A and B are shown apart, each in its own frame.
Chain A
Amino acid sequence: MQFKAMILDNAEVSPGYWRMRMTAPPEILEAQPGQFVMVRVNPSIDPLIRRPFGVFDVGLHQPAYTGAAPQPYLEILYRVVGKGTAMLSALHGTDLLDIIAPLGSGFDCGPAGEEKLIVGGGVGLAPLYLLARELVKDSPVRLFAGGRSKDDVLCITEFERLGVECYTATEDGSLGEQGFVTKVLEQRLDTTGNKGRIFACGPHGMLQAVAGIAAGRHIPCQVSLEGYMACGVGACLGCVCQGANHSSETPDYRCVCSEGPVFDVTELKWEGACHAT
């Protein structure tokens, strides 16, 4: 669906990372974890094309006054990386945005009771909070959050509030273990004897490492990809990534927006350049 959203809140949660809450129609409450939205930053032609963001959270906002009807809302978590996101971060409450949502496929949550391992790198946590909220309903959930420094590890408190056990790693050691978050994931898998199901979103290098761990230990694993896209509905074919059987002779491209953004790792090609970081 396409709708006009009014910004309720737009705050910098960590240097360079912003969390925005906006109004949405009630249908947004049915968004699946892993789905995304396309945001038109303003009605002008600069920036021209929409920007894709994972659904961070959806819910009902209760206005303070007596008798007020609850207002469904949508939240995104974004990093300022260019002109579009910089302009987004400069918007204020009551500003309007044009949104298309929800788009793409969501995560398959897997069986109840099974250990769920969520791996997020930097702003890759964006589509994983709604997932965690869903998973904690019937499964033990652990989060492995990584980043370059403590400023790149976001919203851990929110995950902890859900009852998720959080593990962190930073490349500079400013928070949690020093090094890549995949190391911490492997330590947990060593402890449990490779039990559980992995859900990951983050930079391509991290996803590639997670895919390798999942394959080596025979653990089911899904990843959520980013792609540079114009339409979000499978028409422009800009955001494709390489499917598992891709080769230059027999090309196998998948649309991140309409066939993903969530893929089972076995569907994708991990050697070579799958440009979806």
Chain B
Amino acid sequence: MQPDMSVEIAGLNLRNPVMTASGTFGYGEEFSRYVDLEAIGAFVTKGLSLKPRAGNPTPRIVETPGGMLNAIGLQNVGVEAFIQKKVPFLRTVNTPAIANFFGSTPDEYAELAGRLDAIPEVAALEVNISCPNVKQGGIVFGTDPGCAASVVTACRAATTKPLIVKLSPNVTDIVEMAQACEEAGADALSVINTLTGMAIDLERRRPVLANVTGGLSGPAIKPVALRMVWQVARAVTVPVIGIGGIMSATDALEFLLAGATAVQVGTASFVNPGAAQEIAEGMQQWLAEHGVATVRSLIGALEG
């Protein structure tokens, strides 16, 4: 018998725990030629804002050892174009789509939450309070527990859909942030967004990125992400979605042991567009080989 891979996040049933991370998978359609979207648990859209956003000047990305820095600056089509141009594709895919979004004030967050709540194809909402690359794009809300709570409260009042809050690792105490969001009504927490970093071009004596700093992702951040998922999962009762440098089924299963109910695959999709699907399949194979009947039995099952 095949192991049971299904998990539940705040009433949202997923066929398996593997999602794609916001900003690494476009709006789903971009990767549909390389990955079976119906073989993954869910996918998360590029972060949406009320108005379209052009993003930062280039260079926007640079590779670093075991990872990459990005400072895209939340370029996105805006919620209106999302509804007109991107949602029709979502209707054709039997996999939950989670809309990631951000604003510059709690009111703006709430307005977006309301707009997205009204779209039947959007299965859940992921609030980005943690983008490190724009002045007003979340990070101010992502580093102060009181500000984070105000955003979550505003969004909570505007939607009945599962509300996921994506946390920043660029804080002194992520547990404090997680608890503030849980108390304000978050149904689940995505842990973590990128770590702020920097790359320098020695010969030119300049920062490589036009934005100077960027968000570090990829395998380089996995140990930090695992630690934060473990810390947060022990401190809250809502499900945690583990994110950070997941490249393989082994990586994903480690996040489950640390306490994650599901995972998101990000940078790996750039390296291998089929990564999310291969990871889901690899997890199931591991469970079968180890005689584990259900993936849920691994959540938080770290020993010692």
Q: CA of A164 to CA of B242 in the docked complex: distance in angstroms?
A: 57
Whether A151 sits at the interface, judged by CB under 8 Å, is: no
B24–A240 contact, CB under 8 A? no
Of the candidates A46, A49, A98, A241, the one whose C-beta lies within 8 Å of that of B270 is A49
Provide the residues of chain B in CB contact with A239, threshold 8 Å.
58, 60
Asked whether B3 is an interface residue with its Cβ less than 8 Å from the other chain, the reply is no
Q: Residue of A at shortest CB range from B32?
A: A233
Mask for A228-253, Cβ within 8 A of B = 1, else 0? 11110111111111000000000111
Please determine whether B25 and A48 come into contact, CB atoms closer than 8 angstroms.
no
The residues of B that contact A229 with a CB separation of less than 8 Å are 61
Q: Which of A62-89 contact B (CB under 8 A)?
A: none
Compute how far the CA of A190 lies from the CA of B222 in the bound complex, rounded to whole angstroms. 60
B237 contacts the other chain (Cβ, under 8 Å)? Answer: no
Task: Tell me, in angstroms, the Cα distance from A94 to B200 when the chains sit together.
Answer: 37
Inter-subunit contact A48/B218 (CB<8 Å): yes
Within 8 A of B (CB), among A218-274: 227-231, 233-241, 251-253, 258, 273
Is A237 a contact of B273 with CB atoms below 8 Å? Answer: no
Q: Is the interface of B mostly helix, strand, loop or mixed?
A: loop
Number of A-B contacts (CB under 8 A): 100
Q: A237-B60, A238-B60 are in contact. Are A48 and B66 (CB under 8 A)?
A: yes
CA–CA, A227 to B61, complex, Å? 10
Is A137's beta carbon under 8 Å from chain B?
Answer: no
Residue in A46, A49, A228, A253 whose CB lies within 8 Å of B59 = A228
**CB of A47 within 8 Å of the partner chain:** yes
Given contacts A45-B66, A252-B54, contact A236 B271 (CB under 8 A): no
Residue B149 at the chain A interface, CB threshold 8 Å = no
Q: B274 near A2 (CB under 8 angstroms)?
A: yes
- A130: CB under 8 A from chain B? no
Interface pair A228/B65, CB less than 8 Å apart: no
A40 interfacial contact with B, CB 8 Å: yes
Which one, B63, B66, B67, B269, contacts A231 given CB within 8 A?
B269
Contact flag A235-B24 (CB < 8 Å), given A2-B273, A48-B271, A240-B75:
yes
B194 close to A (CB within 8 Å): no
Q: Is B272 engaged at the interface, CB distance under 8 Å to the other chain?
A: yes
Q: Chain A residues near B62 (CB, 8 Å)? A: 228
Q: How far is the CA of A100 from the CA of B30 in the complex (A)?
A: 13
- Say how far B169's CB is from chain A's closest CB, in angstroms: 19
A98 cross-chain contacts in B, Cβ below 8 A: 272
- The one of B33, B70, B75, B270 that contacts A50, using a Cβ cutoff of 8 Å: B270
Contact call A234/B26, Cβ cutoff below 8 A: yes
B44-68 at interface with A (beta carbon < 8 Å): 46, 54-55, 57-63, 65-68
Known: A235-B25, A238-B60. Contact between A45 and B218, CB under 8 A?
yes
Q: Is B267 an interface residue (CB 8 A)?
A: yes
B65–A46 contact, CB under 8 A? yes
Q: Tell me, in angstroms, the Cα distance from A98 to B70 when the chains sit together.
A: 24
Contact of B271 with A50 in the complex, beta carbons under 8 Å: yes
Q: B26–A228 contact, CB under 8 A?
A: no
Is there a chain A Cβ closer than 8 Å to B300's Cβ? Answer: no
B257-302 interface with A by 8 A CB criterion = 267, 269-274
- B70 nearest in chain A by CB position: A238
Q: How far is the CB of A228 from chain B (nearest CB, A)?
A: 6
Q: Does B34 contact A (CB under 8 A)?
A: yes
Q: Which of A1, A46, A238 contacts B72 (CB 8 A)?
A: A238
Give the distance to chain B from A252, nearest Cβ to Cβ, in Å.
Answer: 7
Docked-complex contact B72 and A237, CB < 8 angstroms: yes
Task: Point out residues on A near B: beta carbons under 8 Å.
Answer: 1-2, 40, 45-50, 98, 100, 227-231, 233-241, 251-253, 258, 273, 275-276
The 9 closest A-B pairs by CB, nearest first: A251-B54, A238-B61, A235-B26, A230-B270, A275-B58, A231-B270, A235-B30, A238-B60, A45-B219
Pick 24 A–B contacts, CB within 8 A, sort by A: A40-B272, A45-B219, A46-B66, A48-B68, A48-B219, A49-B271, A228-B59, A230-B61, A231-B269, A233-B30, A233-B31, A233-B273, A234-B30, A235-B24, A235-B31, A235-B270, A238-B59, A238-B61, A239-B58, A240-B60, A253-B54, A275-B57, A275-B58, A276-B58
